[in-house]
Copies of this chain bind each other. A is one copy, B any other.
Amino acid sequence: MGVPQYKEVRRAYGFDEVSIAPGQVTVNPDQVNIEFSIDSIMFSAPILASAMDAVVSPGFAIEMDKQGGLAVMNLEGVQVKYDDPDEVLAQIVEAPPEEVTALFQRVYAAPVREDLIGARIEEITSNGARCAVSITPANTKRLAPVAVEAGADIVVVQATVTTARHISKSPRGLIFSELLGMIDVPVLVGNCVAFDVALELMETGICGVLVGVGPGATCTTREVTGVGVPQVTATMDCAAAREEYYRRTGRYVPIITDGGIRTGGDLCKAFACGADAVMIGTPLAQSEEAPGKGFNWGMASPHPALPRGTRVEVGVKGSLRQILYGPSSKYDGTQNLLGALEVCMGMVGASDIRDMHEKAEIVLAPSIKTEGKHYQLGLA
């Protein structure tokens, strides 16, 4: 048919549509290395805790550091708006469902207090833990220096969508190369999903890219605005940018898949698709140590005019250690996430994460939907 094509429609894939094919050689899981680094900072576990108020408190950040990963504290949330954040968190958790959105809009209208930024960061670092903080682009020039001054080891600049170039009325917006001149700690930036945007961000000199728009459990960005790219394709495209940038410059900028990871299977797929690390929210909100007490909500949920997501009851499933390293008493993939990664890498035959990038084959296998009935038998 002679219909001119108005616009190309490119196929994109999500975690539930793919699986990982086993490799030609297998490796014993105890021979597998899962280390990860941001700039020169090493982590024994390639896992970041999302900058959500229900996930990361100073206490949680200290525990996450002990377990080898990195918690990112939200620098525009209740921890830096209230003297007693626990009281505010309790209000949110206890509010009747129909009042939650209005309560969010009220609670988050309070201003950020710079004195509290210092206090929270010090609480983390004085316990010997590494400290990362998350700031939105609009507030970065003001708050990032405060956080670094207070001892933050890593700054994450994060919004639903972030690009290297932004058009606004403000005379001078955030320019990443300028920011990097102002502060002397590694900067991670997100979120992005595209090859060219990831490449352009890397060219500014930042030290890591967060990947993912739309897929998180507490976020309805795709429902509300139509915008979103499934994580398998987003991760692969940004991994292609990392390889291209590395080829050109010799500098390796890790990419961190953020959003949509609920099980060990999802986590393993992110690495198989090229992630160097993952950022997760809901699975960690389910830990005993999380401040959300069995609830979670997204950073866009309190938006005053266009809320995207609400409070979600996620339950408490075990200690943080158990969720990350097992032993597991669940068979549904929500515990021993890193043990699952090591078993997966063993089946793929990968000795470390770079080897996983190279060896893991991805198959498009949407039949999980129907074969899922079998699994559900097992989950009943």
A interface list, Cβ under 8 A from B:
1, 3-28, 30-31, 101-102, 105, 160-163, 165-169, 192-197, 200, 213-220, 222-230, 232-233, 236-237, 239-240, 243-244, 260, 262-269, 272-274, 298, 301, 304-310, 312-314, 326-333, 336, 339-340, 343-344, 347-349, 351, 361-371, 374-375, 377-380
Contact = CB atoms under 8 A, between A and B. Distances in A.
A233 B363 contact: yes
Given A163-B349, A369-B370, A7 B222 contact: no
A164 B276 CA distance: 29
A194 B227 contact: no
A133 B125 CA distance: 57
Given A1-B10, A20-B227, A229-B21, A339 B306 contact: yes
27 contacts: A1-B361, A3-B240, A7-B361, A7-B362, A9-B363, A9-B364, A10-B364, A15-B367, A19-B227, A21-B193, A22-B227, A24-B200, A25-B163, A26-B163, A26-B167, A217-B374, A217-B377, A222-B265, A223-B375, A225-B264, A226-B269, A226-B272, A230-B371, A298-B378, A306-B327, A306-B340, A307-B328
A167 B28 CA distance: 6
A343 B272 CA distance: 33
Nearest to A25: B165
A12 B17 CA distance: 10
**Chain B CB within 10 A, most for which of A3, A5, A223, A268:** A223
A239 B24 CA distance: 17
A4 B15 CA distance: 20
Contacts of A217: 374, 377-378
The 5 closest A-B pairs by CB, nearest first: A14-B367, A226-B268, A16-B370, A28-B168, A226-B265
**Chain B CB within 10 A, most for which of A6, A326, A331:** A331
Contacts of A18: 9
B228 A19 contact: yes
Contacts of A229: 19, 21-22, 363, 365
Nearest to A18: B9
B227 A268 contact: yes
Contact of A333 (B213, B214, B220, B364): B220
A11 B17 CA distance: 10
A266 to B, nearest CB: 7
Nearest to A266: B226
Given A17-B367, A224-B340, 20 more contacts: A5-B240, A6-B273, A9-B13, A9-B232, A13-B367, A15-B367, A20-B226, A22-B194, A26-B165, A160-B347, A218-B377, A219-B378, A220-B331, A225-B264, A225-B265, A226-B267, A229-B363, A312-B378, A312-B380, A313-B380
**Chain B CB within 10 A, most for which of A10, A243, A344:** A10
B326 A374 contact: no
B306 A225 contact: no
B371 A14 contact: yes
Contacts of A361: 1, 7-8, 10
A4 B166 contact: no
Given A31-B169, A161-B347, A224 B380 contact: no
A347 B224 CA distance: 13
Contacts of A269: 226
A105 B239 CA distance: 39
Contacts of A196: 3, 24
A228 B365 contact: yes
A309 B380 CA distance: 11
